Structure 1
């Protein structure tokens, strides 16, 4: 039982990180109808910016000011992501309103490659470290209940808590604020939102800015765990099954889908891996997503599209 709970908790913590990346896809798709293939590049670009700004601030402040250096790096990277979001809307999306979905998709692919190249040009192509002070030592829980207790990785636990706080803050933002309600109105019907005076261009800038902040937090966490390297762009690929499972138009779907896939990957690797061979954790999510595409293409919480002719 202790081993099962240990595996379950590990899956939930990994799933929360998947949910964080998936939120970037959902936010942009809900507001603009664009499936943003540049989300992975945004995660990488944000992580590179924070790593380099924190490094430069650390040199300027001295080696004993880690928290302040990271704070400066986070604020600086956040400002960069706001500028990137504004430029994307101003130079690309504004000129592609009402275009075909394929055109918008190709635009986000172009933005992804541009951000990867720009990140390497501005910040270099080396592997950088983000040290935000998360403890890496494991800890044992419930030793009085289970013999030997449950082994929990502190770094994974703190990362999951950070992701959970951001997800909860975004949920409150969408539900309780005037801007959040405007974003939901635009997601439901662009023309109706425009008819009551909601400016679409401003809303798209806000959404891309929020997605940039999400990418920054995701890049900070994954960069702390894995180092800031160009393979971070593949993090977005791990979130694709999450949005397929939860639904492209549902924020709660991104959260629940991430948790389901995180738990499913861990449990399948532990309990099914010995029977079907190793590596099941790598492809489990994609097989599950394929099954949902065949049975329920809109996902668990996505809106069902009905075409009337």
Structure 2
């Protein structure tokens, strides 16, 4: 029983990290109705910014405090993501207003390749570490209930709490704020949103900036766990099944989908792996996503689209 609970907790905390990546996809889709293939590249660019500025700021400014260094590096990295968002809107998105969705989709692909090249060009192509003070040593809990207790990673626990706070904040933002309602209106119909005075360009800058902030948090957490390297952009591939399960338009769906994927991967690897062979953790999420596409393509919390002709 203790081993089962340990596996469940590990899967749920891994699922929270998947949810962080999926949030970026959901945010862009809610504002533009287009799947953002650049989210993985944004995670890589943000993580590289954080890692390199954390190294450069003590050299440039002589800052000795670790916390001040991290705060300044995070602020500069966030400013860089806002600048990227402004450039994306200025140079690409505003020229594609009211165009076919495939045009915006191809634009996100171009943005992804551009950021994949820009990041190493500006910051270097080495493997960099990010140390934000999250403890890496594991702890044992429920020792009075189970002999030896249950092993829990403190780093994963901290990351899961950060993810939950971010998801809650974004859910409130979309549901309770005027800007959040404007974002939903823009996603439904660009022309109708413009006709009632919603500034499309400003809305897109806001949502890409928020997605950049989510990418920064994601990049910091994943970079702290496994280092910042080019393969970090591929972490977005893990989020694809998450958004399919949760629904492309649902912020809470991203978190539920992530938990299902994370938990399912761990349990299937441990309990089905000995019978089906290793590597289930790699393909389990995609098989589950395929089943959802066949029987419930809108996901658990997505909006069902009905066209009347």
Structure-to-structure mapping, 1:91-102, within 5 angstroms: 91-102=91-102
1:137 aligns with 137
Aligned partners of 2:171 and 2:251 also within 8 Å = yes
Deviations 1:186-238 (A, max 9, x none): 23333333232111111111000000000000000000001000000111000
2:28 aligns with 28
2:14 aligns with 14
The TM-score normalised by the length of structure 2 is 0.97
Aligned partners of 1:6 and 1:152 also within 8 Å = yes
Please give the alpha-carbon distance, in whole angstroms, between the structure 2 residues aligned to 1:233 and 1:219: 9
Structure-to-structure mapping, 1:269-288, within 5 angstroms: 269-288=269-288
Consecutive unaligned residues of structure 2, counting only runs of 5 or more, are none
Structure-to-structure mapping, 1:52-67, within 5 angstroms: 52-60=52-60, 65-67=65-67
2:69 aligns with 69
Structure-to-structure mapping, 1:236-251, within 5 angstroms: 236-251=236-251
Please give the alpha-carbon distance, in whole angstroms, between the structure 1 residues aligned to 2:136 and 2:59: 24
How far off is 1:63 after superposition?
A: 8.3
Aligned partners of 1:61 and 1:69 also within 8 Å = no
Structure-to-structure mapping, 1:158-177, within 5 angstroms: 158-177=158-177
Please give the alpha-carbon distance, in whole angstroms, between the structure 2 residues aligned to 1:101 and 1:288: 26
Structure-to-structure mapping, 1:127-276, within 5 angstroms: 127-276=127-276
Q: Summarize the Cα distance change of 1:63–1:97 in structure 2 as closer, same or farther, 3 Å threshold.
A: closer
Please give the alpha-carbon distance, in whole angstroms, between the structure 2 residues aligned to 1:254 and 1:242: 6
How far off is 1:62 after superposition?
A: 5.8
Please give the alpha-carbon distance, in whole angstroms, between the structure 1 residues aligned to 2:63 and 2:24: 34
Please give the alpha-carbon distance, in whole angstroms, between the structure 1 residues aligned to 2:12 and 2:89: 35
Structure-to-structure mapping, 1:100-139, within 5 angstroms: 100-139=100-139
Q: Summarize the Cα distance change of 1:152–1:62 in structure 2 as closer, same or farther, 3 Å threshold.
A: farther
Deviations 1:235-257 (A, max 9, x none): 10000000111111111111110
Please give the alpha-carbon distance, in whole angstroms, between the structure 2 residues aligned to 1:155 and 1:62: 29
Deviations 1:16-41 (A, max 9, x none): 11111101001101111121100000
Please give the alpha-carbon distance, in whole angstroms, between the structure 2 residues aligned to 1:187 and 1:104: 13
Please give the alpha-carbon distance, in whole angstroms, between the structure 2 residues aligned to 1:159 and 1:166: 11
Please give the alpha-carbon distance, in whole angstroms, between the structure 2 residues aligned to 1:62 and 1:220: 23
1:292 aligns with 292
Please give the alpha-carbon distance, in whole angstroms, between the structure 2 residues aligned to 1:62 and 1:279: 48
Deviations 1:117-150 (A, max 9, x none): 1111110101111000110100000101111111
Secondary structure class of the residue paired with 1:36: coil
Secondary structure class of the residue paired with 1:151: strand
Consecutive unaligned residues of structure 1, counting only runs of 5 or more, are none
Q: Structure 1 residues 42-51 or 167-176, which shifts more?
A: 167-176
How far off is 1:185 after superposition?
A: 2.5
Secondary structure class of the residue paired with 1:87: helix
Aligned partners of 2:57 and 2:63 also within 8 Å = no
Secondary structure class of the residue paired with 1:103: helix
Q: Structure 1 residues 224-233 or 187-196, which shifts more?
A: 187-196
Please give the alpha-carbon distance, in whole angstroms, between the structure 2 residues aligned to 1:104 and 1:61: 41
